[in-house]
Amino acid sequence: MRIAVIGPQNTGKSTFVQDFLKEFSHYKTTERTYRNVIEEKGLDVNQLSGLESQKEIREFIFEQMRGNNEYNIIFDRCMIDNYVYTYVQYEKGQIPKWFVDETEAMMLATLTEVDVYLFIPTAVSVPLVDDGTRDVTTSYIDTVNHHFLRVLLISQENIRVR
């Protein structure tokens, strides 16, 4: 089963993936994540993110999901995450509408690449940790959470059963 763990930062997704892999050793995850891309390319993310950063992350995640044919795999983030963060920056005037539309089309194209989406919302009590790639501003995290809920409702209409 192909699983993707999604949601705002600082909710315990990466920790969940690590714990999941300890319990279900027949599962794998990708060797590289979007965080590697952020660090390698020195990208601005979260509230500072712009078109260049979102595009680099988007291309990485899209290729990772489309290019991976493992069946027992768990993804730490997917195209839904990239779309949500892109949309939040669009609302702030940091990203153009054409890019949001392009990202939405790519997100919709990958929805059936995953069997189960595990959404971990902000309501989960996890200590906020500023590690340089995560934002710890609660109002921003709540905004991102709101958009995850919105996108999940929209996506539900677009998912077809395999």
**What pLDDT is stored for residue 158 in this prediction?**
58
**What pLDDT is stored for residue 160 in this prediction?**
46
Tokens of 102: 């392009």
Q: Which residues of the chain have pLDDT under 50?
A: 160-162
**What pLDDT is stored for residue 59 in this prediction?**
98
**What pLDDT is stored for residue 130 in this prediction?**
78
pLDDT digits (tens, 9 = 90+) for 70-79: 999 999 999 9
Angle at 46 between CA 42 and CA 51, to 5 degrees: 70
Single-letter residue type at 150: R
3-state SS of 16-52? HHHHHHHHCCCCECCCCCHHHHHHHHCCCCHHHCCHH
DSSP E strand stretches across 50-162: 73-76, 116-119
Which CATH superfamily hosts domain 2-158?
P-loop containing nucleotide triphosphate hydrolases (3.40.50.300)
**What pLDDT is stored for residue 159 in this prediction?**
53
Q: What is the pTM of this model?
A: 0.80
